[in-house]
Structure 1
Amino acid sequence: MYYDASAESVSRPLVHYTPKAGWMNDPNGLFYDRSESTWHIYYQYNPNDTVWGSPLYWGHASSKDLTTWTEHADALSPSSNDSSVFSGCVVVDRNNTSGFFNDSINPEQRVVALYTEHSPVSQRQFAAYSLNGGYTFEKYEHNPVLDGNSTQFRDPKVIWHEETEKWVMTATRSHEYVVQIFSSSDLKSWELESNFTRHGFLGYQYECPGLAKVPIVGNSSLVSSGVTHKWVMFLSINPGSPMGGSFTQYFVGDFDGKVFTPDTAETRLLDYGKDYYALQTFSATENDDVLGLAWASNWDYAAYVPTYPWRGSMSLVRNFSLREYQPNSEAAQLNLFSEPIINYDALRLNQSIQTNATNIKKNDQLFFNLSSSAHGLLDLSFEWTVNKSNVGKKDFSALTVKLIGATDKEEYLELGYEANAQAFFFNRGNSNVNSMKENSFYSDKMSANVEPYELLSENEAVFKVHAILDRNIAEIYLNDGVSVTTNTFFLTDGNFIGALEVRSSVDDVYTVSNFNVKTTSG
């Protein structure tokens, strides 16, 4: 494929992985090589165009710090031009249960991929193994290892279940709204154990399921009784998101190696933004940390975003934990918390701004000019206190941070909180990029309900936000990650954020404290 280098977008994210060229969607095969201290990711990849289409390959990248990435040659290719390598996973078969390896292969590099081989007439689960730590793969000669006799049977995610000493696979019968759970002793022969059927939002189809054993942190009745972990079922759907298009949901419960039993009937949203899909967790992490990566786009408009010569980016890697959360005065529940992983030592820190606590008046503002070379990543965190006794019921009582373009100040983003709605908002609609302004599915405003981080009194509540803006992706973590909203945004190419302005629409309601801004150069 020929690319015009002069047309390349300069707004390529710095720490959200993007391929050099071509189309990328779902993350696949995430694993950690402990022997080399290297993280590997694979992904759905069309190297021949900037839109989805067959044949699809597994692209491949690696990182030492989950922040800076090195792209490698394609790792898996389809069997024919009318087939594709669809989503799947990678496990580290340290004990050589598969028999694919000999003693010359380091146990930490006994890498086996399980993936969907898609053709016009079937979707079947294949196995492949690597003899060089995941850089190239050899397909198992007796594939498929699992055939569901269906054109909609896909996305295997495999984990090692310690208690039963077996491999466990989740895969979807996508159009039947079924997650099937299989077990195996050798990664080659699989036995159906149970079905997880018609749970949560259904939408058009289920995709990309996964099970993870997630630690419980903080004070809770479960921890007091000796329960340190719960199981989480991740499940994506497209289309059918309550925000439009594609999204990822999750369920908290128990798993005995055969059956996943959710604690309650409700589903939860993993991210309240438009651009967080097909989450997958890493295999072979140290300390059994649950780290996950998602595709930072939405099928509603992914083919039309103004990036070149690539389309598609990954989210930041997040560290997941379960904590007790009280969404209202009557209920408490375990909720997934998300912590972003960025190694700032690997980036060039350009500027750091801090302020003292400031009461924001209606006609005042906090204004910060960013360095002229701050055209990379912007990290913003602050707390705000809401004095509810001064909130009029008819007022639009908003605290707003305006992030203003450096070269075209008419382009800007907004994030903030409105007291009567008791919700956080993000606005990406003030852009001059016509391809997105004219796209009816590219919603320009998003919101997320969030309870106070801390109550100081009956009328005073504290909230926290941590926003990471990486050229054309914003990940916003509320109250230490109890809620997250991830959204791409597209200002005119090269119009990086040049200033911040903090305003309030009312008097004596908002006090801002611990306001911190960090920027990095590109």
Structure 2
Amino acid sequence: MSLTKDASEDQEDIKSLTMNTSLVDSSIYRPLVHLTPPVGWMNDPNGLFYDSYESTYHVYYQYNPNDTIWGLPLYWGHATSDDLLTWDHHAPAIGPENDDEGIYSGSIVIDYNNTSGFFDDSTRPEQRIVAIYTNNLPDVETQDIAYSTDGGYTFEKYENNPVIDVNSTQFRDPKVIWYEETEQWVMTVAKSQEYKIQIYTSDNLKDWSLASNFSTKGYVGYQYECPGLFEATIENPKSGDPEKKWVMVLAINPGSPLGGSINEYFVGDFNGTEFIPDDDATRFMDTGKDFYAFQAFFNAPENRSIGVAWASNWQYSNQVPDPDGYRSSMSSIREYTLRYVSTNPESEQLILCQKPFFVNETDLKVVEEYKVSNSSLTVDHTFGSSFANSNTTGLLDFNMTFTVNGTTDVTQKDSVTFELRIKSNQSDEAIALGYDYNNEQFYINRATESYFQRTNQFFQERWSTYVQPLTITESGDKQYQLYGLVDNNILELYFNNGAFTSTNTFFLEKGKPSNVDIVASSSKEAYTVDQLTVRRLTV
């Protein structure tokens, strides 16, 4: 589509294309419950909020409707959901003025008390929506605002934009929250290549004052992006702990230890103007390859801490297969809490835990189910689901608790592993999650027959992750718990009730994920599957 026509004609073309749901419904390999763009390109989630009047979740995102690669002009795409499983697509919400500009990442707040002065009594307080975003121009990045009087579907840009301009080309991704104690708006925004997260305050969303800098903390990589502050409940507080603590998140790209993009976080205290971390340790939100630009929802129900990330990696996001005319998806919506967790036998740390968040878990409909319990796993005793390969949705989940038997006679030179293999319904292809007895580590193998996967030098096939056991007995038995969600081309792993996670995309050359097998490499009884449930799902 050309963007050289009259601007109104361009907008109508883009609106028509974006809202053509038949493009989504007819896709073959598209994830079923993870948000994807109807056509074109998607990256960072933006402007997440919950409309309590309509009981609707809104997700905006970086959107190029004209191609399946990143490029200008860049819009805010828009989707809504009542259940966070099925999505309605809407026309792009905010667009640039010119083809060489972009509406970059930002956030949305609900201005209940009309501090901005944008609203009157004709707009319900619950729907007084203000977007705060980066306006990317050829020679500068500024922070601008726009407001909506129809619940977030269309926006009017503030006539006196920008609201913050520091004459920088690397100044972006504002995330705004309301801080009740001081009755002020608080913005975190990245001075990306100075390794600064700047904290601004405002009474009215228009006039902002710099309050402090959070800088050069943790793992720095090439640059900071997509910062944010939110509160998370402590699941198992110790004496003297508050009910909640503050979490500062930020994204790094490039420079992840695995290569490319990653999110890290800090736990600490916030007083309205300054964030003070409990320590300077680096903690990653997710140890997979495909989790970036996390953002939390504004006004989540029951004050829960829920959010979502872009499920891709800048190392290869522009090259992944696009047979259905789109690229990229979001992670599942997740709920976040803090929990004291043993990270080794002598240490316990307060870490950010996560689990998939569904409005109603029963909205995930079980088509078929397979169960195993109290079974030894050896090379001669394997098991797995045998769901029908026809009409598979590509949506599966599995919940597994297993024990590594500490008294098994295993030498250092022995290869004693087990693998959970997720199989295609049309070929011998499978991706695998494995565990090695001697190394006491999990590994992921997403090698397939896909030409992209075999030829892209950054789309690693294999890597490992360490997870401290959930329990260790006196005899040395180690128990782990694992939940996995498979959705066509994305695998989300949640270890030990979400204490550790790994999010990864994969691309089968043929077919869709349809079954799960568990196999072992040794005749030694090193593993016991305490409980395994595999479910074939739909919505």
TM-score by length of 1: 0.96
Aligned residue number for residue 61 of structure 1: 79
Task: Say if 2:438 is the partner of 1:420.
Answer: yes
Deviations 1:234-282 (A, max 9, x none): 0001100001000100011111111111111111010000000000000
Question: Which deviates more, 486-495 or 311-320?
Answer: 486-495
CA contact (8 A) 1:10 1:493 kept: no
CA contact (8 A) 1:448 1:483 kept: no
Q: Runs of 5+ in structure 2 lacking a partner?
A: 3-16
Task: Say if 2:194 is the partner of 1:179.
Answer: no
Aligned residue number for residue 422 of structure 2: 403
Q: Runs of 5+ in structure 1 lacking a partner?
A: none
Task: Say if 2:170 is the partner of 1:155.
Answer: no
Q: Tell me the SS of whatever aligns to 1:345.
A: helix
Q: Tell me the SS of whatever aligns to 2:446.
A: strand
CA–CA distance in 2 between the matches of 1:340 and 1:474? 12
How does 1:194-213 map onto structure 2 within 5 Å? 194-213=212-231
Task: Say if 2:468 is the partner of 1:470.
Answer: no
Give, in angstroms, the shift of residue 226 of structure 1.
4.6
Give, in angstroms, the shift of residue 23 of structure 1.
0.3
Which of 206, 225, 243 aligns to 2:258? It is 243
CA–CA distance in 1 between the matches of 2:166 and 2:514? 50
Aligned residue number for residue 254 of structure 1: 269
Which of 275, 299, 320 aligns to 2:314? It is 299
Aligned residue number for residue 246 of structure 2: 231
Runs of 4+ in structure 1 over 6 Å off:
2-6
Aligned residue number for residue 511 of structure 1: 528
CA contact (8 A) 1:370 1:499 kept: no
Question: Which deviates more, 260-269 or 360-369?
Answer: 360-369
CA contact (8 A) 2:423 2:431 kept: yes
CA contact (8 A) 2:109 2:176 kept: yes
Question: Which deviates more, 371-380 or 56-65?
Answer: 371-380
Q: Tell me the SS of whatever aligns to 2:126.
A: helix
Aligned residue number for residue 327 of structure 1: 343
How does 1:389-400 map onto structure 2 within 5 Å? 389-390=407-408, 391-400=410-419
Give, in angstroms, the shift of residue 201 of structure 1.
1.4
Question: Which deviates more, 494-503 or 439-448?
Answer: 494-503
CA–CA distance in 2 between the matches of 1:467 and 1:487? 11
Give, in angstroms, the shift of residue 287 of structure 1.
2.1
Give, in angstroms, the shift of residue 458 of structure 1.
3.4
Which of 400, 405, 408 aligns to 1:387? It is 405
CA–CA distance in 1 between the matches of 2:60 and 2:377? 46
Aligned residue number for residue 148 of structure 2: 130
CA–CA distance in 1 between the matches of 2:420 and 2:453? 22
Which of 312, 315, 320 aligns to 2:328? It is 312
Aligned residue number for residue 98 of structure 1: 116
Give, in angstroms, the shift of residue 417 of structure 1.
1.5
Task: Say if 2:133 is the partner of 1:115.
Answer: yes
Task: Say if 2:338 is the partner of 1:355.
Answer: no
Give, in angstroms, the shift of residue 499 of structure 1.
4.7
CA contact (8 A) 1:280 1:294 kept: yes
CA–CA distance in 1 between the matches of 2:44 and 2:263? 12
Give, in angstroms, the shift of residue 5 of structure 1.
7.6
Give, in angstroms, the shift of residue 474 of structure 1.
0.2
* % same residue: 47
Give, in angstroms, the shift of residue 402 of structure 1.
1.7
Deviations 1:335-375 (A, max 9, x none): 00001124443344210111121011232211321223333
CA contact (8 A) 2:175 2:227 kept: yes
CA–CA distance in 2 between the matches of 1:175 and 1:521? 44
Which of 451, 454, 465 aligns to 1:434? It is 451
How does 1:39-78 map onto structure 2 within 5 Å? 39-78=57-96
Q: Tell me the SS of whatever aligns to 2:463.
A: strand
CA–CA distance in 2 between the matches of 1:146 and 1:506? 65
CA–CA distance in 1 between the matches of 2:241 and 2:520? 47
Question: Which deviates more, 181-190 or 351-360?
Answer: 351-360
Query: Aligned partner of 1:497: which letter?
Result: S
Give, in angstroms, the shift of residue 446 of structure 1.
2.8
CA–CA distance in 2 between the matches of 1:443 and 1:341? 28
Query: Aligned partner of 1:92: which letter?
Result: I
Give, in angstroms, the shift of residue 506 of structure 1.
4.9
CA contact (8 A) 1:34 1:108 kept: yes
Query: Aligned partner of 1:314: which letter?
Result: M
CA–CA distance in 2 between the matches of 1:420 and 1:95? 60
Task: Say if 2:489 is the partner of 1:453.
Answer: no
Q: Tell me the SS of whatever aligns to 1:207.
A: strand
CA contact (8 A) 1:281 1:290 kept: yes
CA–CA distance in 1 between the matches of 2:510 and 2:212? 50
Query: Aligned partner of 2:149: which letter?
Result: L
Q: Tell me the SS of whatever aligns to 1:436.
A: helix
Aligned residue number for residue 393 of structure 2: 375
CA contact (8 A) 1:408 1:495 kept: no
Q: Tell me the SS of whatever aligns to 1:437.
A: helix
Q: Tell me the SS of whatever aligns to 1:287.
A: helix
RMSD: 1.8
CA contact (8 A) 1:368 1:501 kept: no
Aligned residue number for residue 10 of structure 1: 28
Note closer, same or farther for the CA distance 1:161–1:369 as it changes in structure 2 (3 Å cut): same
Deviations 1:461-481 (A, max 9, x none): 210100100000000000000
Give, in angstroms, the shift of residue 288 of structure 1.
1.5
Aligned residue number for residue 283 of structure 2: 268
Q: Tell me the SS of whatever aligns to 2:407.
A: helix
Deviations 1:26-62 (A, max 9, x none): 0000000000100000000000000000000000000
Aligned residue number for residue 356 of structure 2: 340
Aligned residue number for residue 286 of structure 1: 301
TM-score by length of 2: 0.93
CA contact (8 A) 2:195 2:224 kept: yes
Deviations 1:150-196 (A, max 9, x none): 01100000001111111100001111111000000111100000001
CA contact (8 A) 2:287 2:501 kept: yes
